[in-house]
Amino acid sequence: MNRIIDYENLSNQIQTWIQNYVEENNIKTLVVGVSGGIDSAVVSTLCAKTGIPTIVVGMPLNSTQKNTELSEKHISELSSKYKQNVIGLHVDLSKTFEEFKSHPVFRKDYNSELGFANTKSRLRMITLYQIASSKGGIVVGTGNKVEDFGVGFYTKYGDGGVDISPIADLYKTEVRNLGRYLGVCEEIVNAEPTDGLWDDNRVDETQIGATYEELEWAMEYGVDKLSYSEKEYNIVEIYLNFNKKNKHKMVSIPVFDLKENEII
């Protein structure tokens, strides 16, 4: 994927876009959850560079030691470099989650592992909004183009619950390139993508069945191709199946319409 030539210009344009939104809506603070992955590292860095008061929040929740270390490292470096406007916070939600999970109702009949995984993301969303509400702020999203508008690989009302999305029109490879330009550490740039919601530490590629590069190809070029190799066909099928299954995340919620149903 090679849609972007000038990453300095891209960085400046996104910062200006954030600044304009903040000014137009009388926002006082930007709040970003930092996971140790490239998407949140890029978004938090862009927010820091705007000069707007920014709170970056690490929220370990039975997280792998590696992800926690990368998150803490990024938060420490960012708050040190931009100490005039960046505050780093750490809110460990592990105990809160375990108490939720151990409730008798959830232990017996309502113990969906997928539900519990998504609960982790929703607890993080609640945390970010509590912080944002306390400081006249907004929650800044960290989803990329494939996740947000391609395969819907995020939690509804979890990491999908945000106010603005600065990188949602960028593919993962473009986010990585932007991260390199911004000086994000190579360990984060090259880290294998993971949502960090499962106890077995499964990575995104394992869950989806395709790499982000393959999904980007399917989203940008593959769906409208007239002929496919076997591998290309399988990638497009994976993309389309996820897109269909998760469409409910990417469109407005269904609303019963009085006029359409001739009630009035």
Q: Quick: pLDDT tens for 49-104.
A: 999 999 999 998 876 667 788 999 999 999 999 999 999 999 999 999 999 999 99
pLDDT at 101: 93
pLDDT at 202: 78
Q: How far apart are CA 157 and CA 154, in angstroms?
A: 9
Q: How far apart are CA 60 and CA 206, in angstroms?
A: 22
Q: In this prediction, what percent of the chain has a pLDDT beyond 90?
A: 76
Q: Facing residues of 87 across strands?
A: 55
Q: Quick: pLDDT tens for 103-157.
A: 999 988 899 999 999 999 999 999 999 999 999 999 999 999 999 999 998 999 9
Q: Is 256 exposed, middle or buried (0-12, 13-18, 19+ CB in 10 A)?
A: exposed
- Global pTM? 0.92
pLDDT band at 158 (very low <50, low <70, confident <90, very high): very high
Q: How far is residue 172 CA from its own chain's centroid?
A: 11
SS3 at position 228: coil
pLDDT band at 196 (very low <50, low <70, confident <90, very high): confident
Which pair of tokens denotes residue 51?
């000069």
Looking at this protein, which amino acid is placed at residue 235?
A: I
Q: In this prediction, what percent of the chain has a pLDDT beyond 70?
A: 98
Q: Residues 158, 164, 170, 171: what is their CA dihedral angle, to the nearest 10 degrees? A: 0
Read off the DSSP letter of residue 192: P
| Average pLDDT for 170-176 | 95
Q: Which CATH class is domain 7-202?
A: alpha beta
pLDDT at 185: 92
What distance separates the 2 farthest-apart alpha carbons in the chain? Answer: 61
29, 54 contact by CB (below 8 A): yes
pLDDT at 171: 95
